[in-house]
Structure 1
Amino acid sequence: MTSNVLIVGATRGLGASLATLYTQRPDHHVVGTTRAANSPATPDINWLVGIDASKPDVGEMITSGAKNLKFSTVIISAGYFGFETFDTPDWDKQVQMYTTSAIGPVFIVHHLVKAGLLGEGGKVILVSSEGGSITLRHEKEGGGNFGHHASKAALNMVGKLLSLDLKQKGIAVGLVHPGFMRTEMTKSVGFDKYWDIGGAVTPYEAAKTLASFIDGFDISKTGEFWAPRGPGDIGTAEDVLGKGLPTPLQLPW
């Protein structure tokens, strides 16, 4: 039996690597979204074009494009990181981060469930970040990047609330920190200088670990926040949580 997997934000970084990985599984059919008006040249993926997670119609656009496909797994990987400091807060960057990270997923999941495209036994994986954990914020990393951290904290709350709404429907909702990755997104905000010291991995390495975690994720873990790769790339993990932490690691809010 073929499992349909929807990856929102499948053209770059983690999303692209997940899409590639799932197409290599013969029992999986991959549907990916792109903001572009034309489909990328990857015929093994069924592309939904013109999908922007920061727009009010994102849910309708996805359900309309997906037609009657029923999804076993929905991974929302779309994201945006606008760099800020206390001296240079940016209103427009923050609005885009909040809408993409924490508002869009509500409407995507709502429309998929209401259209009957996501039901009992289904999984929703929301790609968050350890940066959204208030507990893990520590003075050694300082402040700044308000929109990034706070939008991920908001996404964590959204995921928790969705898990409560959908548990009776048999739909599991998970929040994940996929790991510190060597992507254009982290490079664009200057974090490439931390790649080596921070243990950053390629998106494909992160995707393999995440896909394995998703395989074992079920309703017993719904509403929980996990780091499938463990504490290794979380700079404040030992300072806050202590040593000898397990992998995968359940993260605090």
Structure 2
Amino acid sequence: MSSILIVGATRGLGAQLVKRYASNPTNTVYGACRSSTPPSSPSGPNIHWIPSVDLTNPESTPLDTPSWRDQVTMYTTSAIAPSFLISSLVNSSIIPSDSNSKIILVSSESGSITLRHPQEGGGNFGHHGSKAASNMLGKLLSLDLAPKKIAVGVVHPSFMRTEMTKGVGFDKFWDDGGALPPDEAAEILAKWVDGTFGMDLTGQYWAPRGTRDIGTWDAVMGEKSGKEGPVQLPW
């Protein structure tokens, strides 16, 4: 006998999955719904409804996870607000078309799904997930803005020795991880943006410094040592 929980079970695919699993009388199916009143259908002796499950409301999902507000802030900062800001700048012609304009989204190698590896472990849901969302935003913007000849790039700017990385305990990795002071990282990034990046690289994801500070690079990519100099990263 199996117990199956389906969230969003009142219509569409969710409702059909409830019916599909409930057709086996040995299953116990739990259907979560946003309404405070369970639906009348699908129904059956082995279907049990859980009302008032609203995934937009942290009070209805009291799991032991990092702060809801902190995670929302990460996604807003990395992937929601930039889309509105960039659209506004382009629509108002502050970022002009056909003039070698460049937009760079500062993401992180942590946004690469490919580079996540067991040696690193899980967690960091808000940070890593929001950076992956930022990467997708950059790709989509590059497609939208290509007709205007506005190049959009996504970068891992380097692991840096900042109060931010220190504040989350990453200072213990500064030396082994090859963390740079921000002024050095800024110089490397600016030289790449000004000298290399353009429409031929739009929509791509790069580490201008190389992979010295990407701890999972060797294990995932099958290389014995990190690469120096600009490297295109896998999504």
Structure 1 length-normalised TM? 0.65
CA distance in structure 2 between the aligned counterparts of 1:152 and 1:224, rounded to whole angstroms: 14
Residues 246 and 191 of structure 1, relative CA distance in 2, 3 Å threshold: closer
Q: Distance in 2 between matches of 1:135 and 1:122?
A: 30
Distance 1:190 1:130 in 2: 18
Q: What RMSD in Å do the two structures reach over aligned CA positions?
A: 1.3
One-letter identity of the residue aligned with 2:147: Q
CA contact (8 A) 2:212 2:228 kept: no
Deviation at 1:247, TM superposition (A): 2.2
Equivalent of residue 169 in structure 1, options 148, 170, 182: 148
Identity %: 63
**Cα distance in 2, alignment partners of residues 217 and 192 from structure 1:** 31
- Give TM-score, length-normalised by structure 2: 0.69
Give yes or no for the alignment of 1:214 onto 2:196. no
Q: Please give the per-residue CA displacement for 1:173-225, whole angstroms capped at 9, x wherever unaligned.
A: 00000000001110111111111111100000000000010012100000000
The aligned amino acid for 2:144 is D
Structure-2 separation of matches of 1:109 and 1:118: 8
1:113 to 61, 79, 90: 90
Could you tell me which runs of 5 or more consecutive residues in structure 1 were left unpaired when the two chains were aligned.
1-85
| Matching residue's letter, 2:77 | T
Q: 1:139 aligns with which of 112, 118, 127?
A: 118
> Which 5+ residue runs of structure 2 have no aligned equivalent?
1-62
Runs of 4+ residues deviating >6 angstroms: none
| Aligned residue runs from structure 1 range 23-102, under 5 A | 88-102=65-79
Which residue does the alignment assign to 2:219? 239
Partner residue in 2 for 1:34: none
Equivalent residue number for residue 158 of structure 1: 137
Select between 87-96 and 151-160 the one with higher mean Cα deviation.
Answer: 87-96
Distance in 2, matches of 1:98 and 1:106, equals 12
Structure with more relative contact order (C-alpha pairs < 8 Å, separation 6 or more): 1
Q: Distance in 1 between matches of 2:181 and 2:228?
A: 22
Question: Is residue 2:208 matched to residue 1:223?
Answer: no
Local SS of the residue matching 1:118: coil
